Structures are given as C-alpha cells and as structure tokens.
Amino acid sequence: MIALERGIVWLSLQMASVQQINEFFGDAQVTAVILGALIALSGGILGSFLMLRGMTLTSDAISHTVLLGIVLAFIIIAAAGAQPELSSPWLLIGAAAAGVGTVVLTELLHSSGLVKQDAALGLVFPLLFAIAVIFVARYVDDVHLDEDSVMVGEIGVAWANTNSHSFSEYDTIVITEDDPRAEFVRKCLNCREEGISPRDPGARFTEECSNCGEYTHAEAYDAGLVDDKPVLVFWPASLTVMLVLFIVTLIFVTLFYKELKLSTFDPGLAKSLGFSPGVMLYALMTLVSLVAVGAFEAVGSILVIAFFIIPPAAAYLLTDRLSTMLLLSSAIGIISSWQGYELAKGNLFGLDLNRLFQGGWNSSISASMVVMMLMLFIITFLVSPKYGLVSGSIRRRRQKQEFEEQVVLGHVYHHSGTPEEALELKAESLDIHVQWPEKKTRKVLSRLLGKSLVIIDENRMLHLSTGGRKSVEKFWRGNLARQSVSR
C-alpha cells in the first residue's frame, strides 16, 4: 500500500509542488470532504445493490463482524513471528473474510427454512462480534483498538494521520549494534513463560537494540538520527486506502454490471443463463467488508453504515433506473459530506447557527454528515416527484377528483337520450341520483363546468360537451385496456 501511495504522490507532484500539496491536504475541511466523498461513492454504489437485494442491514452486521477478521489476522501475524501493524493489508483480507463468513452463515441458517433472513442475521453477527471481543480481551489486550475511532471516528482529524514521502536523493541509513546512535533496552527472557515479574530475582535479561535497522532519510530524521531535514510530502493515509477501494469498486461494478443487475432482480433467470448469483453476492459482500474496515480509523463504522443505507434509500425514491440510482446515491453522499462539514461549523445552507446558540455551534463532523444525509432523505421522502409523500398526496387527490368527475360524466352519458333524461339530468337533483352530499356535488359540477366538459341549458338540464364525451370514452378505453391486461 505504501508503494502504491508513493506512486500516487509522485503523480501528484507532476501537477503541483510539494508546498501546494502539503497546503491542500493540510486543510482539515478539504481532506475530510474528499475522504467523505470517496466513502460516499463506494458506499452509494454498493449500498444500492444491498438495498435492492433487501440486505441493507447486512452492512451494519458486517461493520461489526469484521472486527473478528481483524483480530484473527492480527493473532496469525503475531504467531508467525512478524510484527503486526494496524495498517497491514492482511487485516483488510481478514476483515473481508469475516464479512463473507457473516453472509455464508446467514445464508446457511436462512436456507434451512427454520429461520427468517433477518433473524438469521441477528443471530450471526452478535455471535461473531462477541467472539471478536473475547479474542481482543484474551490475546490482544495490549493493542490499541480504540472504540471511539472504530465505532464513532472523527473524520475531521484525518488530515493529521499522514504518511511522509521524500523524493530527494538520500542514501539509506543503516543502524547497527556498534553504531554510536544505537539504543539498547533490556528484555526479560523468562518472565512471560514462567509468569514472573521482571523484579523477581529469578528473572533473566538480555540487551537488544531497539532502533537497529534500515531507515529512509525521512524516517531517520523523524527518529532523531540525522539533522538534515528532508523535503517531505505529507499524504493522508486514509485517502489512499479509500481511493484504492473506490477504484476497485468502480472496476468491479463496471465489469460485472449486467451480472449484478440480473442476479439482483432475478436470481433464477441469472442462474438459468449460466451466471452464479452466489459468486456475485459474495464478491459484493467482500467489497462491503473492505470498504467498512478501510473507513474504520478515519470515520468510524457508524458513518460508514449511514453512507451504505441513507443515500441509496433517498435515491431509491427518485428513480426506477439502476444506473440513475447509483449516480444519485453517490451524489447525495457527496453533498452530505460537503454540507455536513459546513453544518459542523455552524453553517446550515447559509444560515449561521452560531448566532442562535450561546457559546456558538460546536458539533461532531461525522454526526453532522449523518444529520445532513437524513435531512436530504426527508426532503426526498416529502417531495420526490413520483414516490414522495406530498406528490403522492397530490396524485391521490387528483385521482379522487378525476374519479368523481368521471362518475358525473358517466351518469350524464348513460342517461342522455333516454326516457329518464328529464329526471336524471336535472342539475338541481344531481346529488340525489349520484348519492353524494349536495356541497360535494356542486364542487364537482363546478369543476366540470370550468373545464367545459358539461353544459347546462336554459332548462337546467345537463349535457356533455364534445370534450366531455371524449373524456368519458377515453376513460372507458383505458379501463377496458387495463382489465384485458389483468386477465
């Protein structure tokens, strides 16, 4: 990952100077918004497929169970004699395996026919998460797995967690035991095996060099081994991880878009055509796991879950096309990242919240991004052109009015030219024949007169206009067509 990051930094240096890059990513807001946008892009794409599969809360479960994969990978690395690091790619692999394992166990329970899918998920992820907590307490209790950074996170300080890169020509610095700069520490040889204290008279010690090894010039400067300050590019570590995961997600969805689409909407047809819906599902869950664990340190799992669920839910209300849903979901997530940071500063769409609260507005950036996502979802929920609450209410009202108008038009149409015409089509007695309250009948009749669909002659008799007759016939044709299709 470091080599890849170094390549990205080198490409950036072809377009900007060291000072410009450091100033750009030294801005906390710029780094937070870019990082949030990358997570929004990955989460929006993957979350859309999860939502369409009815597996939205699987992202929540995976965000917990990946801890088991991280811990097991950590233990295996330590058992192999290597020095485990929280930035190791093996932890990502372990997390992905745990995510896939969560889905496999859930599907096994669900396929038994004895447990529903949501109940199966509720059984699996607490179990795996509990096992992870036990392993942490038993084997890696000396490792800093901070609950605040894993669960809550703080995207606002992502700019401070950087890797430094130097592209100047410096020789590698090697510190050996006979080097004057070598530092030695005492290590107890039998304390752990015999369970004794280092102060015990039977404790045996040896001296080891604590800083021996090879250093780049930048690493040597950070360790105080050299005085020459190198020219360094400071690059946010989380940015590289999320950029790589977004590119992998984009490539995967681009290459297997048709397969994902078919296996999502019709797994049976996909299987009959030779595709494997199971493989697509597990590949999707692998990516979900990687994105979840990749964003842990930077933003916390709560914000990741929000990116997986809320933007796709909002996009789902805006379109019926999968491609459009993927774009809208990502766009909503990006806007939420940008405006969420502004909200944390006290700026809500131009409204200065600092003036409304004593001591100013002071809010968590991650929480503000989630609040902004929810605000955009609520707006979509209310005013979505096709599925919004307001538009749905307006549409139902129009349908009700259209039905009422067609009842009156149909009544006039059926009784025109019949012996009952003089009785049935009298404007003053229409409410009796259609069995409506008089006030309602007057309103419907007023609308029909306003639309020039009916005419009242000098004898107060109702007649259909040319437009009214066309409206009735069109309504009947539409109903007959729907009935024939339903049969």
In the predicted structure, residue 485 carries a pLDDT above the cut 50? no
**Token output for 361:** 């507005």
Rounded percentage of the chain residues whose pLDDT exceeds 90 = 24
- DSSP-derived letter for residue 85 is -
Average pLDDT, the chain: 85
Confidence band for 104, pLDDT divided at 50, 70 and 90:
confident
Asked whether the beta carbons of 135 and 72 are under 8 A apart, the reply is: yes
Are 112 and 217 in a shared domain?
no
Q: Of 292, 313, 334, which marks where a domain is finished? A: 313
DSSP-assigned beta bridge partners for residue 186: 207
**Is the pLDDT confidence value at 148 over 60?**
no
Q: Range with the lowest mean pLDDT among 250-259, 296-305, 353-362, 429-438? A: 353-362
pLDDT at 333: 95
CB atoms within 10 A of CB 258: 10
Is residue 68 within 8 A of residue 47, CB to CB? The reply is no
Average pLDDT over residues 239-259: 93
Q: Which among 54-58, 113-117, 331-335, 483-487 has the top mean pLDDT? A: 331-335
Residues 458-463 have a mean pLDDT of: 86
pLDDT at residue 241 tops 90: no
Instruction: State whether 178 and 62 are in the same domain.
Output: no
Per-residue pLDDT for 60 more than 90? no
pLDDT at 141 over 80: no
In this prediction, residue 64 carries a pLDDT of: 83
Q: Where residue 434 sits, what CATH number does that domain have?
A: 1.10.10.10
Mean pLDDT value of segment 293-300? 75
Q: Tell which of 288, 313, 338 closes a domain.
A: 313
Same domain, 116 and 26: yes
Q: What is the mean pLDDT of residues 438-444?
A: 90
| Identity of the highest mean pLDDT range in 47-51, 189-193, 226-230 | 47-51
Total domain count, the chain: 3
More confident: 414 or 362: 414
Dihedral class, residue 435 (left if φ above 0, else alpha if ψ from -120 to 50, else beta): left
> Quick check: is 450 in a domain?
yes
User: What pLDDT is attached to residue 207?
Assistant: 87
Question: Is residue 434 over pLDDT 90?
Answer: no
CA angle 365, 370, 374 (to 5 degrees): 145
Q: Which of the four pLDDT bands, split at 50, 70 and 90, describes residue 151?
A: low
Whether 113 and 194 share a structural domain? no
- Is 244 contained in some domain? yes
pLDDT at 261 over 70: yes
293 near 305, Cβ under 8 Å?
Answer: no
Q: Is residue 358 part of a domain?
A: no
28-52 vs 18-25: helix crossing angle, rounded to 10 = 60
Task: Report the CATH number that the domain containing residue 116 is assigned in CATH.
Answer: 1.10.3470.10
| Rounded Cα–Cα distance for residues 101 and 69 (Å) | 9
* Tokens standing for residue 177: 């035991």
Q: Round to whole Å and give the CA distance between 88 and 85.
A: 5
214 domain-assigned: yes
Q: Is residue 254 predicted with pLDDT exceeding 90?
A: yes
- Whether the per-residue pLDDT at 89 is higher than 80: the answer is no
β-sheet bridge partners, residue 426: 461
Instruction: Kindly state whether residues 217 and 129 are assigned to the same domain.
Output: no
Is 215 found in the same domain as 125?
no
Of 134-148, 167-181, 309-323, 330-344, the range with the lowest mean pLDDT is 134-148
CA nearest to 464, candidates 416, 428, 427, 426? 416
Structural domain of 180: 169-230
Separation of alpha carbons 158 and 177, rounded Å: 37
Domain final residue pick, 206, 230, 254: 230
Q: The whole model's pTM is what?
A: 0.77
Question: Which pLDDT score, from 0 to 100, does residue 145 have?
Answer: 55
Give residue 118's pLDDT band: very low, low, confident or very high (50, 70, 90): confident
In a domain, 78, yes or no: yes
Count of CB atoms within 10 A of residue 198's CB? 10
Asked if 239 and 211 sit in the same domain, the reply is no
Q: Does any domain span residue 356?
A: no
Whole-angstrom distance, CA of residue 10 vs CA of residue 392: 53
Q: Is residue 33 part of a domain?
A: yes
Q: Is 94 helix (H, G, I), strand (E, B) or coil?
A: helix
pLDDT attached to residue 185: 87
Burial of residue 385 (number of CB atoms within 10 Å: 0-12, 13-18, 19+): exposed
